[in-house]
Amino acid sequence: MYTAIIIITSTGAFAAFILYFFSRKFEVIEDPRIAQIIEVLPGANCGGCGYPGCGGFANACIKAVSLDGLSCPVGTDVMKGIATILGMTAGECTPEIAVIRCNGRCDVRPRINIYDGAKNCNIVSAFCSGDTGCSYGCLGWGDCVDACQFDAIHINPGTGLAEVSEEKCTACRACVKACPKNIIEIRKKTPFSPRIFVSCVNKDKGGVARKACKNACIGCSKCVTVCSANAITLAQNLANIDDGKCNRCGDCVPTCPTGAINKYIPLPPSKGEYIHN
């Protein structure tokens, strides 16, 4: 009996020694600055930085010789915090925001059938166009809402469309990836300056598009003609405004006969979210 106890005890002690030896030999010492950087990051693991979560981005920052080319979509303040930890300089990054390129509200996009299936945009888009005649627009079931880790996007029950919060959106691109209709786009966030874009992705010919939605782009090219910055192009019956070329003059907005071009003027938080024209 005592022999068995001695053997078991000795075996356990030997195994413990082996485990301790190898744990020390192959111990990986983590740079303490990684934890500090993760503390500064939002912790949403959205992947908008191009790395697998905040931990992956923190590791990339530690290994980098400079922060050029590294950017957390939450913004400049986060990168300045990381730069302070690493003793580096963070460059200024242009704030961005997600925009919804669909203006097909319930009152302008008639319902032609009743959809009674799974409340999921990806499932719906896989086998039908939803309950309206527009196969391009927002389905309104909120896949983008579920994907957003910042509570920055919601479905407006009155319009049936997704809406982005000016204050909460970090342009992490999670909603862009989640939308099967590709109607969510990242644009420059221009504080207190108009944000102008074509709020439609319908590529059908004018008559067909207008029948499905009164606010659809009909490819008339009037906006192209009036744009002094040459920022608007027309392809496949659809106008598109180049965010880099647009000078925010707004001449194209009243020119559009269907109201497909949206003009958002962000306001200070105390005044509300934005003015929409």
In sign, the C-alpha dihedral spanning 268, 270, 274, 277 is negative
Q: In the structure, what pLDDT confidence band is assigned to residue 139 with cuts at 50, 70 and 90?
A: very high
Q: In the structure, what pLDDT confidence band is assigned to residue 155 with cuts at 50, 70 and 90?
A: very high
Ranges of beta strands (E only) in the chain are 96-100, 153-155, 162-164, 184-188, 195-198, 232-235, 238-241, 261-266, 274-276
- 185: β partners: 99
Enter the pTM of the model: 0.76
Q: What is the mean pLDDT of residues 209-213?
A: 94
pLDDT at 3 over 60: yes
pLDDT at 21 over 60: yes
β-strands 184-188, 96-100 pairing: antiparallel
Residue of higher predicted confidence among 26 and 125: 125
Q: What is the mean pLDDT of residues 253-268?
A: 86
- Domain 96-276 matching CATH 3.30.70.20: the answer reads yes
pLDDT at 17 over 80: no
- 30-88 pLDDT, tens digit per residue, is 678 888 988 888 887 887 788 888 888 888 998 888 888 888 877 778 888 989 998 88
pLDDT at 173 over 60: yes
- Residue 81 CA to residue 37 CA, distance in Å, equals 8
Q: What's the mean per-residue pLDDT of the chain?
A: 86
Q: In the structure, what pLDDT confidence band is assigned to residue 134 with cuts at 50, 70 and 90?
A: very high
Least confident segment among 165-174, 235-244, 260-269: 260-269
Residue ranges per structural domain of the chain: 1-93, 96-276
pLDDT at 164 over 60: yes
Nearest of 152, 153, 155 to residue 106 by alpha carbon: 155
CA distances from 241 to 11, 164, 188, 199 (A): 73, 19, 12, 10
Q: What is the mean pLDDT of residues 170-190?
A: 91
Q: What is the mean pLDDT of residues 137-160?
A: 94
3-state secondary structure 7-70: HHHHHHHHHHHHHHHHHHHCCCCCCHHHHHHHHHCCCCCCCCCCCCHHHHHHHHHHHCCCCCCC
pLDDT at 269 over 70: no
Q: In the structure, what pLDDT confidence band is assigned to residue 183 with cuts at 50, 70 and 90?
A: very high
pLDDT at 188 over 90: no
